[in-house]
Structure 1
Amino acid sequence: MARVYLSLGSNLEPRRYLSAAIAALRERFGAITVSPAYRSKSVGFDGADFVNLAVGLDTELSPEALNDWLHALEDRHGRRRDVPRYSDRTLDIDIVFYDALVLDGPWHLQIPRKELQHAFVLRPIADIAPAFRHPLGGLSMAELWAAFPAEHEPLTVEPLPD
């Protein structure tokens, strides 16, 4: 079993789609750890604010099989792939960490994700896995978050229904 940390985001009906994704992840993987959700400005395009959170789970799936399963989950919830990559979306789920694996694969399967440089990915993972160490730099998520210039990417807590 591998310990995996995912980043989930939405800027189109985020409460609906993030809640549905969490339910689907629980149904497939059992016990999961869910971070608080945070609202932030969209990055890479001019769009509605995003709500992001992180999920920790254990899986027997390979990174490629997990990525395929997550893409299918996005698709079931209306994720469009016929629009620019940086655009509004119902659901965006990325594998940020897969144990200590480092992978640069096809279909944007990049582990660890470079988006960890953004508050909306780093903060939620630091909330649920503060002691987890980045496989390349060796710093813990708590150390990375403590060094992050949070004032450059403000986040506000966004309550989600249980």
Structure 2
Amino acid sequence: MAQIFISIGSNVNKEINVINSIKTLKAYFPGLSCSSVFESESIGFDGNNFYNLVAAAKTELPLFEVCLLLKKIERDNGRLHNDKKFSPRTLDLDLLFFDDVICDEPAQLPRDEITKNAFVLWPLAELAPEFIHPINNLSIAEIWQGYDKTKQKLWKVELSFK
């Protein structure tokens, strides 16, 4: 069984889309666990604030099927895949890790934004502080400890999805 981590984000009907995505992910990954939900300002464009969190699960699905499933869940929640990179999102599901796989296809793993964005790193550090990043061989807690926390503002929000 592979250990996977998924970044979840939304800034369009964010409460509904985040809750729906978690319910759907739990249907496919029954042991799914989630970090706290964080709110942050949009980065790279002017837009509504985002809700972000990270989910962890184990799966027997191969990597390619996990990637297809995440794209299907995004589409089912109104995501258009011709959206430009920095724009509003109904739902953004990014596979961060698939065990310790390092690859560029069918997805970039580990996801580059892990070490660059607080809205990914903080919830990941909360959920899996001891997980070792396969490229830099540091724990997620060590990466978060060394992260410049003045770069991005985010805060925890209450969202009931359990």
Common fold by TM > 0.5: yes
Question: Displaced runs of 4+ in structure 1, greater than 6 A?
Answer: none
1:104 aligned residue: 104
Distance 2:2 2:132 in 1: 15
Aligned counterpart, 1:155: 154
Q: Structure 2-normalised TM-score?
A: 0.95
Mapped partners of 1:85, 1:144: distance in 2: 25
- How far apart are residue 83 of structure 1 and its match? 2.6
Identity of aligned residues (%): 36
In the TM superposition, 1:60-139 aligns within 5 A as 60-106=60-106, 109-116=107-114, 117-139=116-138
Partners in 1 of 2:123 and 2:51 — Cα distance?
Answer: 11
TM-score when normalising by structure 1:
0.95
Q: Report Cα offsets for 1:28-61 as digits up to 9, x if no partner.
A: 1101110001111112222111110000000111
Measure the CA separation in 2 of the matches of 1:134 and 1:9: 21
Written as runs of structure 1 = structure 2, the 5 A alignment for 1:37-56 is 37-56=37-56
The question of whether the paired residues in 2 share the 8 Å contact of 1:53 and 1:120 is answered with yes
Letter in 2 for 1:124: P
Number of the residue aligned with 1:3 = 3
Cα distance in 2 for partners of 1:60, 1:18 equals 24
Give the CA deviation at 1:88. 0.3
Task: Tell me if the contact between 1:15 and 1:161 (Cα under 8 Å) persists in the aligned partners.
Answer: no
User: Number of residue pairs matched?
Assistant: 160
Q: Secondary structure at the match of 2:26?
A: helix
Which residue does the alignment assign to 2:32? 32
Q: Which runs of 5+ in 1 are unaligned?
A: none
* Alignment partners' CA distance in 1, 2:100 and 2:83: 32
Report SS of the residue matched to 2:150: helix
* 1:1-38 CA distance string (max 9 Å, x none): 10001100000111100110100111111011100011
Measure, in 2, the Cα distance between the counterparts of 1:75 and 1:13.
15
CA contact (8 A) 1:70 1:93 kept: yes
- Secondary structure at the aligned position of 1:127 is classed as helix
Q: Which amino acid aligns with 2:136?
A: G
Query: Which ranges of structure 2 fall in alignment gaps of 5 or more residues?
Result: none
What's the Cα RMSD here?
1.0
Deviates more, 1:74-83 or 1:1-10: 74-83
CA–CA distance in structure 2, aligned partners of residues 26 and 82 of structure 1: 27
Task: Give the distance between the partners of 2:129 and 2:83, measured in 1 at CA.
Answer: 35
